Amino acid sequence: MSLKKISAFSLKTLVLSVAMLIVMVTVSGFAVPTETTQTASQNSGTIFLRLFIVNLANALLINLVVTQTRWRGWPLMLGLSFAFYGVQTIIGQIEAIVFLTPLGELWGAGSIPVLTMPPNFILGQFIVGAALAAIGVPLSVLFFRKRKRGDQPMLNTLIPKMGTEQWLIKIGLIIVLYVALYFGFGYFVAWKNPAVQAFYQGTDPGSFLAQMRNVATETPTLIPFQALRALLWIVFALPIIRMLRKNGLWGALLTGLFISLPMNIPHIVPNPFMPPDVRTVHFIETVPSTFIFGMLLFWLLHRPHRSVKELFSVPFTRRKRRHRVSVEKVEDVQTTP
């Protein structure tokens, strides 16, 4: 990529991040409870800078997907808006409902956190997230001149052509992988921290197996809830995976970033419902776990796999090698006297 293209991409990303920041601040003014905004105004300079960083990261990821995919027009706008709203808002807020409201006593860590989040604040986040997706994605598509739909029937390629048995096996594997990553990082990274234990008013049973035994006996609905979230991850990530399926390893990395950052980077922004040390621990916990999960999702769903051996193959590498061999053969023929 030339310096001119890098500069143009950077400028468009900066403009989009500023536009998304304006949308976030404006919509939050009427959608988020007044007492929350008043608390935030006490450190307005720091919060404004961190909100800009949040929107800069979101704008960068949106622009990267728009420029790397062959999708165009309204399929691109609808698919990317759906995916962004799902991973940035819906997945995170349904967990906030469970863990940061009185539902936490039933479905969360077995107790109510010290500070609970009011339902109208969570509702406001749904509204703000919808506004960001509805404005940010179309602006990116407009910036990179992809508003006109191409000739390819892109919606027909949204669902990978895999048999029922393969779908069931992969969905089951995805659920197992997500539950393992969620509870593994949750215990070894977050729950080992005294500040997190104090905030959720819980204790460390001493081992991961003991923790899982407590989860299974004291909050038996938590594991099925996380299995449901794994299914939602599939639904919201699938458009991104299909958009980037031709990009190989870069597509997997970008999918991991798209899944991990939009939902978790807001942890850097102070809020009156979670202490700074708890937010920091959750950020360290959730970003790597969801990044790994995003790459695994891409690996499993970017194409069909007819066997376990094919699942661990790297088809785009083989294609490049075959192409190189064919070119060498042509050159040999041309140089033969």
The burial of 202, by beta-carbon neighbours within 10 Å (0-12 exposed, 13-18 middle, 19 or more buried), is given as middle
Which pLDDT band, with edges at 50, 70 and 90, does 36 fall under? low
Q: Is the pLDDT of residue 333 over 50?
A: no
pTM for this prediction: 0.88
pLDDT at residue 310 in the model: 83
Q: Which distant-in-sequence residues (6+ apart) come within 8 Å of 278 by Cβ?
A: 195, 196, 199
Residues 279-304, mean pLDDT to the nearest whole number: 96
Q: Is the pLDDT of residue 46 over 80?
A: yes
The burial of 327, by beta-carbon neighbours within 10 Å (0-12 exposed, 13-18 middle, 19 or more buried), is given as exposed
Which pLDDT band, with edges at 50, 70 and 90, does 316 fall under? very low
Residue type, 169: I
Q: Is the pLDDT of residue 67 over 50?
A: yes
The tally of domains found in the chain comes to 1
Looking at per-residue pLDDT, the higher value among 28 and 110 belongs to 28
Phi/psi of residue 271, nearest 5 degrees: -145, 160
Which pLDDT band, with edges at 50, 70 and 90, does 324 fall under? very low
| pLDDT, the chain, mean | 86
- Report d(CA 103, CA 263) in Å as an integer: 21
Q: Is the pLDDT of residue 52 over 90?
A: yes
Look up the domain containing 164 and give its range.
3-335
- Report d(CA 308, CA 286) in Å as an integer: 29
Q: Is the pLDDT of residue 256 over 90?
A: yes
Q: Is the pLDDT of residue 70 over 60?
A: yes
Q: Is the pLDDT of residue 216 over 50?
A: yes
